[in-house]
Amino acid sequence: MGSGVPKVLMPLGGVPLYLHVVEAVSNLDDSFRIAVVGYQSSLVRQSFDESGIGYRIVEQSRRLGTAHAVGIAIRELSDFDGQVLVLYGDTPFLTSKTVEKLLETARKASGIAVLGFEATTASHYGRLVIDEDRTLNRIVEFKDATPAELRISHCNSGILCASGAILRKLLPYVSTDNASREYYLTDIVGIGRARGIRSVAVWCDEEEAVGVNSLAELVQAEALFQRQARRRAIAAGAILTAPETVFFSLDTFLAAGVRVEPNVVFGRSVRIERNACIRAFSHLEGCWVDEGAIVGPYARIRPETIIGRGSKIGNFVEIKASEIGEGARIQHLTYVGDTKVGSNTNVGAGSVVCNYDGRRKHRTVIGENAFIGSGTMLVAPLRIGHGAITAAGSVITDDVPDHTLSIARGRQSNKPGYARRLPGRGDNSE
């Protein structure tokens, strides 16, 4: 798409495009999943490895068309005669319900099931030519269609299902006799018809068939994804006070009763439990917020963070890789990293956990019912005991025992009249 990044790795809903397709088939009870990769295949392989989703990767080094790609994949299924579902990594809105319907139709028809839709604007899509008995006669690609065929509103999503036996039988007969000089998978419908193999169209909503082929279409797809995610969240019982300003990732979970104020962004792997409140202009990723907790406004919650039940995380607070105990309070202008904060502990305004020494991150543990005075610097590694107190403005470098007050700051010294003797300060200074 002109970005220098493989299309299927472009982000949609906070995750690579192809992971939406993976999600649509995640509930299928099967044992063999194949991904055919081509352009910048090493990057795509790396993404699959990092995702840990267990697909076998095969490479299409010469990209000669969709039938060519499926032909490479089918070699991995030489003894498999069950249903083979062919999906595309740039079609992110397919639902699991439609996938199951497609599989069931292919089984009942003992033939080929093709996913089609009625297009509002048919545009560049291939057309499904349907006979009077509702059998799918053939699929004609946009570039090869006649003016009469282009007036057909039945459009092809590209997604289909057929048995391994049927695919092995028909793929060798696919040719490049078309405008693009490619091996079209869609040709197996007509080839199969000539050999007595029936094809049936299965219909889905146009939104499910949306493909992403340009940066402009990616922007449109993101807008569609966010609209769908907001609708799902509200239907599940979340309260979004300004839905159009809240942004979700593919795996965002909001329980019933969660309240989300305007301009909140959910990155990957966020789970918010019942009756929690995420206040305005907060950004969360890789975290779990327990029941009744309050986060924000203007809070940033980073990965590997747990916010305990009923705790309060206030404005301009950043928390990373930390566990915040039940009922704890971190209300203002504070950074907490690599830290365990005990239940009912208060961390005062302007406090910082100094967890990084320039080479390594270090751990801090703060006990229950502790009180960290405003402006405290906690220099990790460090342990603050249960019920301990640090005086405001302290720099704590040593462990503080339970129920101990720790004061670590220079003694104040007042010098009367000295301010007037400083450069630029005279008797008439204001």
Q: What is the pLDDT of residues 383-407, one digit of tens each?
A: 999 999 999 999 999 999 999 999 9
CATH number, position 113: 3.90.550.10
| Residue at 412 is within a domain | no
pLDDT of the residue at 421: 85
**Is a pLDDT exceeding 70 seen at residue 428?**
no
pLDDT of the residue at 6: 92
The span from the CA of 309 to the CA of 275, in Å, is 10
Rounded mean pLDDT, 70-88: 92
One domain for residues 180 and 265: no
Rounded mean pLDDT, 119-129: 81
Interior/surface letters 280-316, b for 16+ CB within 10 angstroms, e for the rest: bbbbbbbbbbbbbbbbbbbbbbbeebbbbbbbbbbbb
Give the rounded distance of the alpha carbon of 38 from its chain centre. Answer: 23
How does residue 178 score in pLDDT terms, banded at 50, 70 and 90? confident
How does residue 425 score in pLDDT terms, banded at 50, 70 and 90? low
What Rg value do the Cα atoms of the chain yield, rounded?
Answer: 30
Q: What is the pLDDT of residues 239-265, one digit of tens each?
A: 999 999 999 999 999 999 999 999 999
CB of 393 closer than 8 Å to CB of 373: yes
Q: What is the pLDDT of residues 268-322, one digit of tens each?
A: 999 999 999 999 999 999 999 999 999 999 999 999 999 999 999 999 999 999 9
One domain for residues 322 and 239: yes
Q: What is the pLDDT of residues 21-76, one digit of tens each?
A: 999 999 887 678 999 999 899 999 999 999 988 899 999 989 899 999 999 999 99
CB of 219 closer than 8 Å to CB of 230: no
**How many domains does the chain contain in total?**
2
One domain for residues 128 and 199: yes
Q: Cβ of 163: how many Cβ atoms within 10 Å?
A: 19
* Residues near 30 by beta carbon (within 8 Å), at least 6 away in sequence: none
* Residues near 74 by beta carbon (within 8 Å), at least 6 away in sequence: 84, 164, 167, 168, 171
How does residue 334 score in pLDDT terms, banded at 50, 70 and 90? very high
**Is a pLDDT exceeding 60 seen at residue 427?**
no
One domain for residues 75 and 195: yes
One domain for residues 88 and 190: yes
CB of 20 closer than 8 Å to CB of 68: no
One domain for residues 279 and 320: yes
One domain for residues 34 and 85: yes
How does residue 17 score in pLDDT terms, banded at 50, 70 and 90? very high
pLDDT of the residue at 418: 87
Rounded mean pLDDT, 208-231: 95
Q: Hey, what are 65's tokens?
A: 């068309």
CB of 392 closer than 8 Å to CB of 378: no
The span from the CA of 418 to the CA of 75, in Å, is 88
One domain for residues 82 and 196: yes
CATH number, position 251: 2.160.10.10
One domain for residues 193 and 297: no
pLDDT of the residue at 318: 98
Told to judge if 154 belongs to the known catalytic residues of this protein, a careful annotator would answer no
Determine what percent of the chain is predicted with pLDDT higher than 90: 77
| Residue at 414 is within a domain | no
Q: Which of 125, 31, 269 has its CA nearest to residue 115? A: 125
User: What residue type is 379 in one-letter code?
Assistant: V
| Residue at 239 is within a domain | yes
Active-site entry in 332, 362, 386, 403: 332
One domain for residues 183 and 290: no
State the residue range of the domain holding 120. Answer: 7-209
How does residue 429 score in pLDDT terms, banded at 50, 70 and 90? very low
Rounded mean pLDDT, 95-108: 94
One domain for residues 148 and 55: yes
Mean pLDDT value across the chain: 93
pLDDT of the residue at 244: 97
The span from the CA of 411 to the CA of 430, in Å, is 28
Determine what percent of the chain is predicted with pLDDT higher than 70: 98
pLDDT-wise least confident of 107-111, 129-133, 163-167, 416-420: 129-133
Q: Hey, what are 85's tokens?
A: 């579902």
Rounded mean pLDDT, 360-369: 98
How does residue 180 score in pLDDT terms, banded at 50, 70 and 90? confident
